[in-house]
Structures are given as C-alpha cells and as structure tokens.
C-alpha cells in the first residue's frame, strides 16, 4: 500500500491549488514527494489550525497515512477533509482509491459519484462525464452513474447518447420501483434504434448504487422525447414525474408547457402556476404588500397587473386586461419601458406604468386591492382554446408615429418585407430559435422585394457583412415599440424568428411569417401552419431540430408566389 493515493492524481484544483501557493504548505509537499513523511507530517500538522489550509492538510495527512500502510486512518482523514471542503477534488480520487484497496467497492463508487456530481456543479461537465463512465465501466448496473451520465449528455444536446443512458437508468429504476415497467416498454417501442446502456441490452441483475431522484430522470427523458417530436410520450414522462414527486416544481413546469403546446389549456394553465415554485424560474416572485387576485369580484376594486417574462408574452396576453375592466376593475398595467407608450395609447381605460427598478416596488402612488402577474390571468379567467384569438388587430401605431413613418417609407409599387433573424440572447432557447443572418442572404437576393431589417441588439452587426445594399436598416429609428409598430404598418409582410416582433405583428394584424425551431415554444402548437392566437401569422417549421435549410427554401418559394400575386394585384389596380 506504499503507493496508495499517489497514482492517477487529477490536476490540483480549488482549495488544493490555493494551498500550493503557501510557502509552508509547498515545503511540506516537497518533503512528502521525496518520501520524508515524518517532516511532511509535522509540516501539515502545523498548518491545520489555519482554516483555509485545514482541508488540504488533512488530505495530505491521509496520503501520508496511506503511504505508511495505515489505510483505515487514511480513509478517515480523507473523509474529514471532504467534510470541511466538499470542492476538494483531489480528495475524492484519493479516497476512492483507498476504499478500493480496502475492498470497499460500493463506497468507492459512491465517492466517485460524488466527485462526478461536484465536477458537474462546477461546470466541468466533460470531466464529470468521464467519472460517470468510469463507474459504469466498473459496474454497468450502477443506477446513479447511468442517470447522471444521461442527464449531462442531455444538457450538452447529445440526444442519442443521453437516451441510451437515461433509458438504461429507467430500466434499472424499474427494478426498484413498481409501476415503471410500462414506461420502459413505451420508450423502447418509441426508440427502437437506441442502443440502451453500456452493454446494449436490458439489465440482467439487480441495480446497484443508491436509488433516488427518478423524477428528475423522467423529466429529462420527457424533454428528450419532446425534442424528438414524441409529444405524447413526453407528456407521459412528465405526468409520471409529478405523480412520483407531487412537489417537484420543475416537473410541473415542464408538464405545463407540454400541455399548453398540445392545446390542453384547462390543465395547462393550472400547472403553469408552478413556475413560481421552481427556484430557477428567471422571474422574481414579487411581494407587493397586497393580495394576489384569485378570481374575487373586482367591482369597485383597483388591481395591478404586472408583465413578466419576455416582451412578446406581454403583447400576447394584454387583451385579457379588457376582461378585468369589464368586471368593474380599475386596472394599472406595469410593463417594461419599451412598451409603455404603445400600450398606453391602445389601452385608454388602463393606467400603464413603467416597471420599477426594484422587484418589490411599484412606480405608482395608487393603493391597490389586488395584484397579479399577467400570465396568471389565463388561469383565473378560465381561458380555453375555444376562446382564441383573444382579439384581432388590437394594437395600432400612434398617429404621430404613423405620420413620421409615412414620410420615411412613402408608398411604392414593390413588395416591402421586414426581417428579424435573432431574438434576445439571454433567452434560454435563443440558440435554437435564432439563426445566422448568412442563411437569409438568398432571401435578400430576391429582386422583386424591398427588404427592411428590424433587427436590434448585437446581431444587427451581421448586416455589415452583406455585400451591397440589399437590405435597408431600420434599427436606428426603432426607439421603442411605438416606433416599431408604425414601421410594421408600412410593410406588406414580416419574416421573423420567434421573438417579440412576431407577437407585435400578430397583435396588429400585419401579415407575418414566423420561422420556428423544432421543438418550438408552446404557443405556436406542435404542428400546422396557422396560429390560433394570431390569424394573420403563418408558421414555417423545422422538420428536424437545428435544420433551417428547408424552412428557408419554403419561405423563398412562398415569397416568389407572393411577389407574382402582388404584381398582378398592382397591375389590376392601375388599370
């Protein structure tokens, strides 16, 4: 056992890395490396009363004990070190090797699993994948390693490999929990070409490792099924996850999105309320000192409705404000600054106020009886698919903006088309919904069309790479959504990815073609070219994730047809 704890050491990181910068620690380490264990031990013991060096010193003392053959003492010291500093990566590796040497294989695998999870939490996912794979190479029936490996692979969009290990984990879980066999059968039938598990066959023995957090694995599997277009199976996985763990907020959130995407609004809106219980939901749950409206009578009451999530969400659901007014409420609507002027002009019965800088305050002197986030109104107002569209052409540009844009874009004979190719980069799915501007250059070459870029933000710079002046850049004039609305009103068509301009065009009744990834956001449904929310919006969908070429080809073909129709109509008007 003299070499125990000295082989296959990972590079020093975190607490050990910092400790190595201390002269006294470095001196003790030099003595350890030349085999002067007595002097090294004395040096580390002198450093143990310094909090920042305690865990590294304990780790090194454990390595000295291992080198001297005292394995059990070494294991105890390593466990103490990791209790003090769970990020001490070297300690996990040394401890696992000591546990193997002591014949404690189950404990060693548990230690390695914790190492993998620690690496994952630090964002070192490739290293975590390697650790999980190492465990499975030793023990293909290890449930935790299979599920964690599949989860990390799913997060890195390695769908086939993720399915392989998550389905393997599900098979192992079915040996521990009754009622999962039917899910295994459904999944195997849906993915017959996936090679499941390290051995490519169903497990023959009992699973090892601690069994738990199956709801997380089921939710991740649901996401993979959804990404592959298997929507019914995704729903099944999400439902089973929340059946097993009724308080699992992420499972409820994913179930909500799947239900809404399927048009099951009644149940979907109820599940959507779980967003406030999910710790990673990007919106702050606000505390404004007034009750949240639950559907009580609003006659003679004053209610604050505050927008949440994206600008497009606000544009989509703002027609619901009229229903509150119809119930006798005095309504104040809080929205981000770019929407204030446009919505104030279109909602004369509502006081539109800008969003406060601090989440738990309001830029308004009024006292309110109730408050509610905008996207909770569908659940409170019993919104169903049969009630769509909520309204038609419910937003109009301001007269002064219309006058400005009429002068800026006077009437011409050619077809005018606006273009947006990228959304807000902070959006969690922006990499999927946005596309490189270079992919649209073939559209810009259409000679029968006048193109106008409505793109804002950093992605606007991609216009500079376009040879010639094939597209007019309108971004310098788009100070807020009032200006953007007036610009849209001067166009014949908008071609856009799934971003706020799509919702603005839909809300105005301006014809819009929306380019959608697969899978797309719930509000556009799972298939079809029409949109229940916006009658003048046409949808162009990817046929498989990440592939925009077919979408662009369809748009180009439809543009050519539209151009010919427009020329015929203009000729008829002139005659």
Nearest to 375 by CA among 488, 509, 273: 273
* Residues of the chain above pLDDT 90, percent: 72
pLDDT tens figures, 509-522 = 999 999 999 999 99
Rg (CA), the chain: 30
Q: CA–CA separation, 575 vs 573, rounded Å?
A: 6
- Structure tokens that stand for 357 in this block: 């800088």
Instruction: Tell me which residue has tokens 């996207």.
Output: 375
Residue 487 host element (H or E): helix 481-489
CB burial of 513-550 (b: ≥16 within 10 Å; e: otherwise) equals bbbbbbbbbbbbbbeeeebbbbebbbbbbbeeeeebee
Whether the CA torsion 358, 498, 273, 519 is positive or negative: it is negative
CA distances from 73 to 51, 68, 155 (A): 21, 10, 39
Residue 429's pLDDT is 84
Distance of alpha carbon 430 from alpha carbon 439, whole angstroms: 16
Which residue is listed with tokens 């002009």?
Answer: 345
Residue 110: both structure tokens together: 């548990």
Query: Which of the 8 DSSP states describes residue 328?
Result: T
Model confidence pLDDT, tens digit, residues 26-67: 999 999 999 999 999 999 999 988 999 999 999 999 999 999
Q: Is the pLDDT of residue 571 over 50?
A: no
How does pLDDT run across 138-161, given as a tens digit for each residue? 999 999 999 999 999 999 989 999
pLDDT at position 545 over 90: no
| 398 neighbors 434 (Cβ within 8 angstroms) | no
Note whether 493 and 350 are within 8 A (CB).
no
Task: Calculate ∠ Cα 23-29-35, nearest 5°.
Answer: 145
With a cut of 60, say whether residue 7 has pLDDT above it: no
Instruction: Name the band, by pLDDT with cuts 50, 70 and 90, for residue 202.
Output: low
The pLDDT assigned to 84 comes to 93
Phi, psi dihedrals of residue 509, rounded to the nearest 5°:
80, 15
Question: For residue range 345-399, what is the model confidence (pLDDT) as tens digits?
Answer: 999 999 999 999 898 999 998 999 999 999 999 999 999 999 999 999 999 999 9
Interval 453-511: pLDDT, tens? 999 988 888 887 766 557 899 999 999 999 999 999 999 999 999 999 999 999 999 99
User: What average pLDDT is seen over the chain?
Assistant: 90
For 399, residues 6+ apart whose C-beta sits below 8 A from its C-beta are none
pLDDT at position 212 over 80: no
Phi first, then psi: what are they for 322, rounded to 5°?
A: -60, -30
How many C-beta atoms surround the C-beta of residue 453 within 10 A? 21
Residue 426 in 3-state DSSP?
A: coil
Q: Is pLDDT of 3 > 60? A: no
């Amino acid at each position: 056992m003299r070499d125990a704890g000295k082989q296959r050491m990972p590079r020093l990181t975190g607490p050990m890395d910092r400790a190595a910068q201390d002269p006294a620690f470095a001196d003790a380490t030099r003595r350890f490396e030349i085999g002067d264990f007595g002097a090294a031990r004395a040096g580390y013991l002198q450093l143990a009363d310094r909090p920042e060096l305690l865990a590294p010193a304990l780790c090194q003392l454990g390595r000295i004990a291992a080198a001297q053959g005292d394995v059990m003492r070494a294991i105890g010291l390593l466990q103490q070190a990791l209790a003090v500093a769970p990020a001490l990566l070297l300690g996990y590796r040394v401890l696992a090797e000591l546990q193997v040497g002591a014949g404690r294989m189950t404990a060693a695998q548990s230690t390695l699993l914790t190492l993998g999870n620690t690496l994952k939490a630090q964002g070192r996912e490739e290293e975590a994948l390697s650790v999980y794979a190492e465990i499975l190479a030793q023990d293909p029936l290890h449930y935790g390693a299979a599920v964690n490996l599949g989860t990390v692979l799913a997060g890195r969009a390695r769908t086939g490999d993720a399915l392989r290990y998550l389905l393997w984990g599900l098979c192992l879980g079915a040996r521990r929990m009754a009622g999962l066999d039917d899910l295994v059968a459904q999944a195997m039938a849906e993915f017959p070409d996936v090679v499941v598990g390290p051995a490519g066959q169903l497990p023959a023995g009992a699973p090892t490792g601690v069994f738990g957090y199956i709801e997380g694995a089921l939710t991740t599997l649901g996401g993979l099924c959804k990404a592959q277009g298997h929507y019914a199976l995704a729903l099944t996985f999400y439902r089973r996850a929340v059946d097993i763990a009724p308080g699992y907020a992420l499972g409820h959130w994913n179930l909500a999105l799947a239900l809404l995407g399927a048009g099951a609004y009644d149940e979907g809106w109820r599940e959507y309320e779980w967003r406030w219980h999910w710790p990673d939901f990007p919106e702050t749950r606000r505390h404004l000192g007034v009750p949240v409206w639950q559907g009580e009578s609003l006659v003679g009451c004053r209610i604050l409705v505050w927008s949440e999530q994206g600008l497009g969400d606000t544009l989509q659901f703002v027609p619901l404000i009229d229903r509150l007014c119809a119930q006798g409420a005095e309504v104040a609507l809080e929205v981000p600054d770019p929407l204030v002027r446009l919505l104030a002009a279109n909602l004369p019965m509502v006081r539109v106020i800008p969003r406060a800088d601090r989440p738990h305050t309001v830029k308004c002197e009024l006292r309110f009886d109730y408050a509610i986030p905008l996207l909770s109104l569908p659940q409170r107002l019993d919104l169903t698919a049969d009630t769509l569209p909520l309204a038609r052409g419910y937003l109009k540009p301001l007269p002064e903006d219309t006058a400005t844009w009429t002068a800026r874009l006077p009437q011409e004979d050619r077809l005018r088309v606006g273009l947006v190719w990228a959304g807000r980069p902070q959006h969690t799915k922006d990499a999927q919904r946005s596309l490189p501007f270079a992919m649209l250059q073939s559209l810009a070459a259409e000679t029968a069309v006048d193109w106008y870029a409505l793109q804002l933000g950093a992605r606007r710079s991609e216009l500079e790479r376009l040879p010639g002046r094939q597209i007019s850049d309108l971004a310098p004039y788009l100070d807020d959504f009032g200006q953007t609305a007036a610009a849209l009103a001067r166009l014949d068509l908008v071609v856009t990815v799934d971003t706020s301009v799509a919702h603005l065009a839909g809300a105005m009744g301006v014809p819009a073609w929306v380019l959608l990834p697969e899978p797309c956001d719930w509000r556009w449904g799972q298939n079809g070219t029409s949109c229940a929310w916006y009658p003048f919006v046409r949808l162009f969908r990817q046929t498989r994730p990440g592939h925009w070429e077919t979408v662009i080809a369809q748009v180009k073909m439809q543009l050519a047809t539209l151009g010919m129709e427009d020329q015929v109509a203009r000729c008829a008007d002139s005659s």
